[in-house]
Amino acid sequence: MLNITHNQVNKKVSLDSFESGKRVSGRIYYKYINRFLLAFAIILLVVLFLPWTQNISGQGQVTTLKPDQRPQTIQSQIPGRIEQWYVREGDFVKKGDTILRISEVKSEYFDDRLLERTNDQIIAKSSSVQAYDGKIKALNSQIEALKKEKVIKLNQARNKIRQAVLKVKSDSIDFEAAKTNMSIAQRQYQRTVTLEEEGLKAVIDVEEKRLKLQETEAKLISQENKYLSSQNELINVQVELSRINTTYDEKISKAEGEMYTARSSQYDTEAQVTKLENSYTNYERRNSLLFIVAPQDGYINKAIRAGIGETFKEGEKLVGIMPANYELAVETYVKPLDLPLIHIGEKVRIQFDGWPAFVFSGWPNVSYGTYGARIVAVENFISDNGKYRVLLAPDPDDHEWPEAIRVGSGARTMALLEDVPIWYELWRQLNGFPTNYYQPEAAVNKGEKAQK
């Protein structure tokens, strides 16, 4: 009864006279309700002091622990045209198995005998290098011969100079002797003329002395001429020595110039040979790229470029492959506010999509169908979705993950933090406070050791 009027029916009419009134008013229900409320209050009070594990929830997906174990696409390093497929989607391939064959689309590689002709060019250029080497050796021999011949010629010229010097000295002495004879002949002639004038000598004696004087003068002139000639010969021999030196220097310089030219041509040809060998290696490597092979053991997921005769550029995706051997992991994302609470080595509970589970986020030990994991890496740079990426690996101390899990399936994660009372967690949630910031025990122990 709401008692919203002063005209109460129970005061004017006796409800006990009615059967229904007797049943209602005759029983005391409030005692049971009070007992129930009291029991509920006690239970609620006890529950409020039960431990509650704070956690950070996140959504992620199954991946692999190592980057080389994740799904990948195979590209071609060169542009080409698809000619033949050797596999189908879903096939298992081993490392090195041929997946498809392509052909060239660039005109400079159309020649089927490109390798053979490039090798012929290498052989020809190598022969040119050998020919230049032979020419350099011949020029070196010629230079050595010219140097030896120059030494001999110079020695001959120096000998001639010494002979000429000695001859000049000899002619000089003879010239001086001729001048002495000339002086004697003149004095004798003068003395004979004086004696002839005094009548002591005959005219014939004067004539003999005059003749002898003329002969002596002629010898003087002849000897002077020989002396001048020997001096000219000395000068000529000295000039010849300089000429020999200059001539052979020119010949040696010319031969050395030809040798340096041949050596330069040899180096240029060797560079061409190296370039051709590089081209040959590149052509050989390019021919091997006409067959796209599997980089590792795995399964063919999807043929991205499927048609025969379809052309593509270098670096374009051709086919997707999933490695056969891999270690499962889970990548999840946390908010920047929760990042300081994440530490490497801490435990995380995971619920995989498709596996039935009963999850009690605050009581991980009571949950059913979740699997254990540990944090192995935390991204240092924020992702495109505004959160930080965290990589989880299976916990070796917990149950093994299901074998049927596939890379790419979804997962829900719960990073386990500190244990707090339920009343504190309710109070925190109502006030919108973040979870408790804390350091793991390993980090605290390290800090205490460092202080000591």
CA 264 to chain centre: 32
CB 303 within 8 A of CB 400: no
Cα dihedral 178, 183, 189, 191 in deg (nearest 10): -150
Domain residue limits, the chain: 1-48, 54-69+326-451, 72-104+290-323, 114-288
**Top-confidence residue, 310 or 24:** 310
pLDDT in tens, 137-157: 998 999 999 888 888 888 888
pLDDT digits (tens, 9 = 90+) for 266-300: 899 999 999 999 999 998 998 988 999 999 999 99
Range of weakest confidence among 189-193, 214-218, 314-318, 354-358:
354-358
**DSSP codes joined into one string, 101-141:** EEE--SGGG--TTHHHHHHHHHHHHHHHHHHHHHHHHHHHH
Q: Domain 54-69+326-451 in CATH: superfamily?
A: Efflux pump adaptor protein, beta barrel domain (2.40.30.170)
- CA distance linking residue 14 with residue 432, whole number of Å: 56
Residue 410: helix, strand or coil by DSSP?
A: strand
Confidence at 451, pLDDT banded by 50, 70, 90: very low
CATH architecture of 72-104+290-323: Beta Barrel (2.40)
CATH number of 114-288: 3.40.190.290, 1.10.287.620, 3.40.30.10, 3.40.50.2000? 1.10.287.620
Report the Cα 300 to chain-centroid distance in Å. 31
